[in-house]
Amino acid sequence: MNPELFVARNTTRREFLGRASLGIGALALSQMLPRANAAFTPRGPGAAPLSVAAPQFAPRAKRVIYIHLAGAPSQLDLYDYKPELARVSGQDCPKSFLEGKRFAFITGVPKMLGPQFFFAQHGQSGTWMSDRLPNLARHVDKLCMVKSMYTDQFNHAPAQLFAQTGFARVGRPGFGTWVIYGLGTENQDLPGFVVLLSGGNNPDAGKALWSSGFMPSVYQGVQCRAKGDPILYVQNPNGLSRDLRRRALDTLDDLNRTAYAESRDPETLTRIEQYELAFRMQMSVPEATDLSRESQETLEMYGAEPGKESLANNCLLARRLVERGVRFVQLYDWGWDSHGAAEAEALSGEHGFVRKCKSMDQPVAALLTDLERRGMLADTLVVCGGEFGRTPMQENRGGQKMAFVGRDHNPGAFTVWMAGGGVKAGLSFGETDEFGYQAVSDRVGVHDLHATLMHLLGFDHEKLTFSFQGRDYRLTDVSGSVVKPLLA
């Protein structure tokens, strides 16, 4: 083989730019590498937590459990009680609700749709909640409910991306990535950012939601599975002992370090770290994810069944993981898209929305109970919500009455609640109009929520940045303010 051709084929883009005679690539690289490489120093067992920053002020939360109900639950049938909407249910929607608005499926003039379930006030705070969430209702005095959320996205994938990454298109780091980038991990034998899925499907935006985006891939979320090995290939192949695996990794480590010394490519250090973490995880992950180690009382409290895929199992697993030092656990529960186009999407009946509420209510309430009794709720931030809300009008896809009762997407108003981690307990913040259609008082945008969550973790959202292609990026892009009334 021609030696020059061999060198060309084995030259990375960074090497090419660094050696270019014009020097433009080297100039740009000199601005990018110091910040990128700050996150990476080759580490062995017991090294300092992976992080490039430290909290800028005292954090109120040390860890996060974020429950995203993919598909967007109806705030009007769970949290945002609107008696005026009940009064006009069945009437034609006012023209003012339709003019200049974009909908996913509504066409023509739909009918108004009142709350489908009974609401009552609970706790000392007198918080309104639907009878679909009887277990969670007992925790209302722990919850900080933001009823005035809004977004600028009305389709699932871009809205989920916006809610999780602060940007409506793929390519940006997820919220969990930013947290690990800033805080690192407390347990060197487990990933700092773990993703758990339930509901039988991935969220619409897929794995881009927990991607590291333009950050080094060491910060991306690690997906755990409900069945089989919790993480693919966590076990050694037959015939490969742990000692032989260690010797092979040591040799590979030497080769990667040599490659890094020549190329200075941060992804080489990522590769070293991931190999080492995978080796440590072979011992730690099976124990951490084994729900059969929990007491029968705990399993029954969550409604968990070891070996099955469920939100109940994932809520219990989330507690086990944060208990062992995992910094950020992201739960995605698919199936909350209540259009009414089929029985599984119906607000009424037992197979759609009602079924999803049952599958969520018990384990999420149990998670709050469990964290509190273990003394962890005070510094664990629990967040629960979807990507947008639902309309106060009944969906009429194609201008026709639907076979089942459902609501269309509504970016103008939805509810997110938080608990623990320094938020003000028993608070109902913000208001929507009398029909629950638009947030009108103390409106909170997605960037505002992210800024507030980062503040609880000890960071000024404007200062936690990552330099990429000549620009300093942040989770909140170019906007967002801390919503101080939400802070305890």
- The pLDDT, as a whole number, for residue 217 is 86
- 59-230+289-486, which class in CATH? alpha beta
Q: What is the mean pLDDT of residues 231-242?
A: 62
Residue 225 pLDDT grade (very low, low, confident, very high; cuts 50, 70, 90): confident
Q: What is the mean pLDDT of residues 31-55?
A: 43
Q: What is the mean pLDDT of residues 403-411?
A: 96
For 455-469, the pLDDT digits (tens) are 999 999 999 999 999
- Look at 190 and 36; give whichever has higher pLDDT: 190
Report d(CA 103, CA 335) in Å as an integer. Answer: 20
Which of 40-54, 110-124, 353-367 is least confident?
40-54
Report d(CA 179, CA 177) in Å as an integer. Answer: 5
- The pLDDT, as a whole number, for residue 281 is 56
Report d(CA 77, CA 79) in Å as an integer. Answer: 6
- The pLDDT, as a whole number, for residue 55 is 85
E strands present in 386-469: 389-394, 407-410, 414-419, 427-429, 431-432, 439-441, 444-445, 466-468
Which of 21-35, 181-195, 364-378, 422-436 is least confident?
21-35
- The pLDDT, as a whole number, for residue 269 is 73
Report d(CA 136, CA 300) in Å as an integer. Answer: 16
Q: What is the mean pLDDT of residues 27-47?
A: 36
- The pLDDT, as a whole number, for residue 2 is 47
Q: CA gyration radius for the chain? A: 24
For 2-34, the pLDDT digits (tens) are 444 444 445 555 554 444 444 443 333 333 333
- Residue 289, number of CB atoms within 10 A of its CB: 23
Please list the residue range(s) of the chain that carry CATH number 3.40.720.10: 59-230+289-486
Q: How far is CA 45 from CA 48, 136, 273, 275, 277, in A?
A: 9, 41, 10, 12, 9
Q: What is the mean pLDDT of residues 346-371?
A: 96
Q: Which residue is associated with the tokens 């084929």?
A: 9
In one letter, which amino acid is 27?
Answer: L
How does DSSP assign 170-188, residue by residue? TTSPPHHHHHHHHH--S-T
Q: Map residue 148 onto helix, strand or coil.
A: strand
Q: What is the mean pLDDT of residues 119-133?
A: 98
- The pLDDT, as a whole number, for residue 52 is 58
Residue 261 pLDDT grade (very low, low, confident, very high; cuts 50, 70, 90): confident
Q: What is the mean pLDDT of residues 281-302?
A: 85
- The pLDDT, as a whole number, for residue 6 is 40
Which of 53-57, 226-230, 314-318, 369-373 is least confident?
226-230
- The pLDDT, as a whole number, for residue 23 is 42
